[in-house]
Each structure stands twice: as structure tokens, then as C-alpha cells.
Amino acid sequence: MLLAFTRAVSPTLADCELTHLQREPLDVARAAQEHAAYETVLARLGATVLHLPSEPDLPDAVFVEDTAIVLDEIAVVTRPGAPSRRHATASTAAALAAYRPLVHVRAPAPLDGGDVLAAQRRIYVGLSTRTNRAAVEQLAAALAPLDYEVIPVAFTGCLHLTSGVTRVADGLLLINPDWVDPGSFVGYRALPVDPAEPHAANALPVGGSVLHPAHHPRTRARLEAEGLRVEPVTMTELTKAEAGVTCCSLLLQQT
């Protein structure tokens, strides 16, 4: 059973944290509609959608990916790099505790889940404005007994590592090579985004399909040329908050 944890869009979303994008008018009601449609796609592809408690006073609370790292054996509760985001982890931890043993990233190290790319027994962690080497060391120590290798990755140009690279199939990464060096991922083939769509590297495999923002058609064509079935999802307003399709859910495989 595939579980997908999501959280409702906050009415304060327009006050979200921004790092690489300029703030522009954001239609919160439309963002909520986009999020609901995203949940519908997850359910259609076989996921059981579970709603985390609403956090109306936390603008970025909808982006649940940043609050935890879910692996087969455990869940790691993060310590988001933006102080305004740290209050969202408690309700995530409470929900995940029913399914996984928990470990926590401890102060003062910051770690955003969006900086983590899990690829089998390798855990790639982006060094960013939200995640530092102290957090990488904590994560490596926590996961070493489970035989995971934690690998720090430098990148530039975007908020999180998964803004610039995601795994779309076994052995295949979708990547913006101007932001992330494909050579960091030994043993993986890199599919570059279309140069006209630098923000198109964020994708989410679910139920034999790949969720991908609908406003990146050129990169979608590249994914389809690889034989992948792509589910375009509208992210027009959520993208203004530096969101991608991975940001809005935490996936957990329950046997």
C-alpha cells in the first residue's frame, strides 16, 4: 500500500519563504484548487491520501516534503533551515510515528527534506541555504547502521537539490546540468531538461507514472521519449512559492 501524506494550503501562502524567485501576486484559492487536483492524481495512481493537520498560520506548511525523510526502515524528522518552517514538523512526526520508528535532526543543524534524494541505498543530500554539512553528518550517523551511504552534493541556482534533479525511473535521473553536476551520481544516467525550461527537473514517480508540472511541455516530451508515462499537473500558483511536484507530499510504502 502506498500512502501519500499531504497538508492543506494555508490561507497565508502568499507570505511564503522565497530564496531564488521574486515575489509576485499569488492566488491562494487557485493554489488550493491545484493542490486538490494534485491529491486527486495521487489517488487515481493508487496512493491512499492521508491529510496531515492543517497549519493555517504557517505559509509553507503545504510543502510537507521538507519536514521528513521517509525510508523503508525509519523516518527522519528534519529541522528545516527557515525558522518559520520548524513548527510544521511536530504534526508530521506524530503521523509518521504510526508507521516508522523516528529519528530527529538536532539543533543547530538545519536540514530540509527537499535537499534529499534517495536512490536505493544512497542518500544524496544537497548543501544549500537550508541544509549544511553538520546535518549531513547527523544523517550519515543515523543511517549508517542501516547500511545507507550519505553523499553530500553541491549545487547552485535553485532552492533545493530536488529542484535541480529527481529520480524518474530505475537508473534514470531528470536533471538540470547547469545547476547540478550529473557526475555526482555514479551509476545513473542523466536526462537533461530542455534548456528553455530550467525549472523542469522536479518530477515524482507514482504508480507507474511520473507527475510533472504541466507548464514544462518540452521536458515532458523528453520524458515520454524515454517511454515514461507522464501525468501533467497544474502548478501555476504553487510554483510562485518555489514549489515542485515532490514538495506537496510524503510518500510511504506500507507492506
Q: Which residues are catalytic?
A: 160, 247
Helices (H) and strands (E) in the chain, counts: 5, 15
Is 137:108 a contact under the CB 8 Å cutoff? no
Is 120:173 a contact under the CB 8 Å cutoff? no
Q: Are strands 102-104 and 75-77 parallel, antiparallel or unpaired?
A: parallel
| CA dist 198 → 31, 73, 105, 175, 215 (Å) | 22, 34, 31, 9, 12
Selection from 67, 62, 73 nearest residue 31 by Cα: 62
- Give, in degrees to the nearest 5, the angle at Cα 129 between 245 and 74: 60
H-helix or E-strand spanning residue 87: none
Question: How far apart (Å, rounded) are the C-alpha atoms in residues 24 and 42?
Answer: 28
Instruction: Report the Cα–Cα distance between both ends of the chain, in Å, rounded.
Output: 6
Is 84:58 a contact under the CB 8 Å cutoff? yes
Instruction: For 39, list phi and psi in degrees, rounded to 5.
Output: -65, -40
For the record, the C-alpha cell of 51 comes out as 491529510
Q: DSSP alpha helices (H): ranges in 165-241?
A: 217-225
User: Could you say which DSSP state residue 180 is in?
Assistant: B
